[in-house]
Structure 1
Amino acid sequence: MHSQNKLKKAFTILAFLAVGFLFGQQPYKRTLKLMGSRFDITVVAKDSLEANGYIDLAVNEISRIERLISSWDENSQTSEINRNAGIEPVKVDAELYNLIQRAIGISNLTDGAFDISYASMDKIWKFDGSMKEMPSKESIQNSVSKVGFHNIVLDKENSTVFLKLDGMKIGFGAIGKGYAADRAKDLLISKGVVSGIINASGDMNTWGRQPDGKEWKVAITNPMDKNKVFALLPITDGAVVTSGNYEKYVNFNNVRYTHIIDPRTGYPATGIISVTVFAPKAELADALATSVFVMGKEVGLNRIEQLPKVECIIIDDKGNITKSKNIQIERP
């Protein structure tokens, strides 16, 4: 009994020290453009000098990943893979190989609703107001003729990636920012940063708590009015990603077509205007948010509920809110 009390006392002191350590710190935030998008990086630190050192580390890590996965940078390994489509396999770093392997895993999980070879798609849909009529059925079918994750050949032994079809391309637009946020977060944790947020244009990745001990809270935008928040959700260690079509869409024959296109058919997704996914990693949340749009409400929700530690909120084009079973929505 005596030793138990000593143990309890030790734990109490440790808990007190941990809380005290946080109370001596405060959050510091920097906003900048990375990977063609807005990034807000927040770290909890004792002073601005320490905070800026940590944020610099995160920026360097995100920039390194961009150089690896960018299909716009002709010197990247991703561009090298695309240049050699239909010609020969390309040897790549283990990091890129593993990212592509995980992406193919998500493609299998979502029956191809997520597909990094979407970059092969002909851009026949315009969401800038210039489209006056729907593309023809034939041109839509042709637009995805070179899309298909089954045509990405991986050789683990040689760490090579080969795209079977001439003109085929891969891109990380629906997974890259989430992956970069994950890597930056892991790096900062390894350097001793106790708490923070990396917000990659709405891909939120958090760890720890606010200096006062309260959980970080994520605001979910009302897609019917993007200036209003319809829910606040606490998040302490994980990621939340929202995909919305309330800004980019076209209407034909009373159907609203979103800018998120089904890589299997070439047709834009319909019926959903906002998907928010909670997952342990931003990479997975990023990919699944896009996938649910494409799969639709029923199939998407069913798939999400089969995954451990993954939850979602779906808003359809009638304004109805559907959420997975374990989410508790807190109204602002």
Structure 2
Amino acid sequence: MGPWRRTIIATLLVVVSPPALSSSTKVSHVLVQRHAYLMGTSCRLVTYAPNRSVGLARLEGMLRALETSEEQLSTWRNDTTLARLNRQPVGHPVQIGPDACGLLRTLRRWWDQTGGAFDPAIGSLIDAWGLRAGGRTPRAATLTQARARAGFKHIAVDAGCRLTRRRPVTLEEGAFGKGVGLDRAAAVATGASWLIDLGGQVMVGSSPPDAAGWDVALAHPLARERPALVVSLASGSLSTSGGSERDVSGDGRRIGHILDPRTGRPATFTGSVTVWHSQALAADILSTALYVMGTEAGLRWAEAHDVAACFLVPRRGGSVQVVKSAAFKGRFDRGSVGTAGLVTQGEVCH
């Protein structure tokens, strides 16, 4: 086992293991890493480069792209583009830039295609459930009022890129911000062999030297130190949504941090969903949407739209059922890496 062949557990649900280099490859490639804290989670950037200086320069450019995305999209700050949009007067059209216009149109398309399972206009619901303040169970009247101020249907962007909020809805970046940042980082990347691990989402440029792909493990949803499935990722992005330390406690019970925009309540699924897509934004959005839908409805949607998705469903006794869409099996089953307890669709891992 080479010096870099170690498993590192990501902040949420993904484990990444850089491959060891052969003696001949070590002469021409070095592994360079950077660590940061972005978008409310830990971020790890990895690349293979001819020397450390080249690798650091490559990662610096990608890190800057991620930081710029945070500066534009974070709703934890008051000075970002998204925060300013959320403060615009209700009912008054506001001119927005081409990047924001294009992003909002993309978000609307996914909102429509997922039947509202993905909806970033839920700031009022997040406040009602106290997800940024330790958690609470809202009264029925409070939840009704919050639902009246939520929903992408209350946001319009016309052909001239003028944004109108018909109600005082607020957009939250939680289900798309990481994807935007990763796509932007990929756009400025130089050199093909790199990986970014941003919380529960991973994106890669291409396979590392001497390997078919990067080993990425999907953790057991109730015991994140235990990998339930390992796949070899050669391109694109894997995004995982599931319960985590982001869940909060209110009134003596657990409150899931992923809300179902259609009901205004926390999603009822307790496992995890991992989605692969060539674009990180799509993977980010769809892992959230399919988690909200749950295993049965989510799998039907994934199959109908040819989406590569994997559901990890907790069972009694600490086991987990692995349920994969046809697209996920077609992309990863041939290249899956074996681990103790590795399972296939419908089987159970203890």
| TM-score of the alignment, normalized to the shorter chain, above 0.5 | yes
Match of residue 60, structure 2, among 56, 59, 63: 56
Question: Helix, strand or coil: the match of 1:315?
Answer: strand
Deviations 1:109-165 (A, max 9, x none): 111111111123252335799768x543333332221111111110232x2222111
Match of residue 233, structure 1, among 227, 231, 244: 231
Superposed, 1:136-215 pairs within 5 Å as 136-157=139-160, 159-165=161-167, 167-188=168-189, 191=190, 193-215=191-213
Q: Which has the larger radius of gyration?
A: 1
Match of 1:41 in 2: 45
Code of the aligned partner of 2:338? R
TM-score, normalising length: structure 1: 0.83
Match of residue 311, structure 1, among 289, 308, 312: 308
Match of 1:96 in 2: 100
Structure 1 vs Structure 2 CA RMSD: 2.6
Q: For 1:323 and 1:251, locate their aligned partners in 2 and report how far apart those are by CA, in whole Å.
A: 33
Tell me, yes or no, if the aligned pair for 1:274 and 1:314 is still in contact at 8 Å: yes
Are residues 1:123 and 2:123 paired?
A: no
Match of 1:17 in 2: none
Identity of aligned residues (%): 25
Match of 2:15 in 1: none
Deviation at 1:39, TM superposition (A): 1.1
Relative to 1, partners in 2 of residues 1:126 and 1:64: Cα closer, same or farther, differing over 3 Å? closer
Tell me, yes or no, if the aligned pair for 1:272 and 1:315 is still in contact at 8 Å: no
Are residues 1:69 and 2:73 paired?
A: yes
Deviation at 1:202, TM superposition (A): 2.0
Code of the aligned partner of 2:79? N
Deviation at 1:87, TM superposition (A): 4.3
Runs (4 or more) in structure 1 with deviation over 6 Å come to 20-23, 127-132
Code of the aligned partner of 1:331? G
Counting matched residue pairs gives 305
Relative to 1, partners in 2 of residues 1:306 and 1:36: Cα closer, same or farther, differing over 3 Å? same
Q: For 2:176 and 2:97, locate their aligned partners in 1 and report how far apart those are by CA, in whole Å.
A: 18
Relative to 1, partners in 2 of residues 1:203 and 1:121: Cα closer, same or farther, differing over 3 Å? same
Q: For 2:147 and 2:41, locate their aligned partners in 1 and report how far apart those are by CA, in whole Å.
A: 26
Tell me, yes or no, if the aligned pair for 1:118 and 1:147 is still in contact at 8 Å: yes
Tell me, yes or no, if the aligned pair for 2:122 and 2:169 is still in contact at 8 Å: no
Question: Helix, strand or coil: the match of 1:218?
Answer: strand
Deviation at 1:47, TM superposition (A): 0.8
Deviation at 1:228, TM superposition (A): 1.0
